[in-house]
Amino acid sequence: MYIVMLGAPGTGKGTIGKILSNDLNLVHVSTGDIFREQIAKGTKLGKKIQSYIDTGALVPDDVTIETVKSRLLEDDVKDGAILDGFPRTAAQAEALKGFLKENKPNAKRVAVELDVPDDEIIKRVVNRLICTNKSCGAIYNKETKPPKEEGICDICGSELKKRKDDNVETVTKRLEIYHQNSKELIDFYKKNNALYSIYPKELDVAVANIKNFLDEYRRK
């Protein structure tokens, strides 16, 4: 099963995507993580995309689509994956549809939309802290979910950092871009796939509801 996580930045796609990934034993593929890794490594791709990411603009569709296609041809995602942060435009959604049709004709495809009011999103994102240990990647919030010891991950003891693009200006821009594309994207998934929308107020409840939906869908 390929699960597409839709939702503005800061709605919890990463957090919920990782929980689902563990519980359902599906690899979590995040385009944001892939791009940040390329930037950190200083690869050719990383250099090409850095300025987009830093200012909150979208990486161009052709680059993004190629990156995801080659990731989805790897062995660990041959039976399914959780896609977090992709697709973000109608062109990306079309490309994914074509790719899956061609390469995974029997795979089930489903979309989950996380819908959170913008003012709450801004509060979440500007206070967000992320564990620098890539294999952990735990996410904290200075206000609502602080770590026990300041700047240190409760789970693995690594340093916590703010993402460079998690400031009011950049998140406002990311939200604006999200809203420009979201109607078309959501309509696309309503038409082409099963779509489940939820306001993830409490994490546990949201995860349980999403899992119920996925369970029912899987049995269909």
Kindly tell me the number of DSSP H helices and DSSP E strands found in the chain: 8, 8
- Position with the least CB separation from ligand ADP: 32
The single residue among 2, 5, 10, 29 that binds ligand ADP, judged by CB under 6 A, is 10
Return the sign of the alpha-carbon dihedral for residues 110, 203, 162, 177: positive
Binding mask 141-180 for ligand ADP (x = CB under 6 A): ---------------------------------x------
- 18 in contact with ligand ADP (CB under 6 A): no
- 136 in contact with Zn ion (CB under 5 A): yes
> Judged by CB, which is closer to ligand ADP: 41, or 219?
41
The DSSP 8-state label assigned to residue 77 in this structure reads G
- 138 in contact with Zn ion (CB under 5 A): yes
- Residue 88 beta carbon to Zn ion: minimum distance, rounded to whole angstroms: 27
Decide if 163 is catalytic: yes
The single residue among 153, 175, 207, 214 that binds Zn ion, judged by CB under 5 A, is 153
| Cα(35)–Cα(51) distance, integer angstroms | 11
Identify the burial level of 118 via C-beta atoms within 10 angstroms of its C-beta, where 0-12 means exposed, 13-18 middle and 19 or more buried: middle
Residue in the structure block whose two tokens are 């062995």:
75
| Cα(37)–Cα(13) distance, integer angstroms | 18
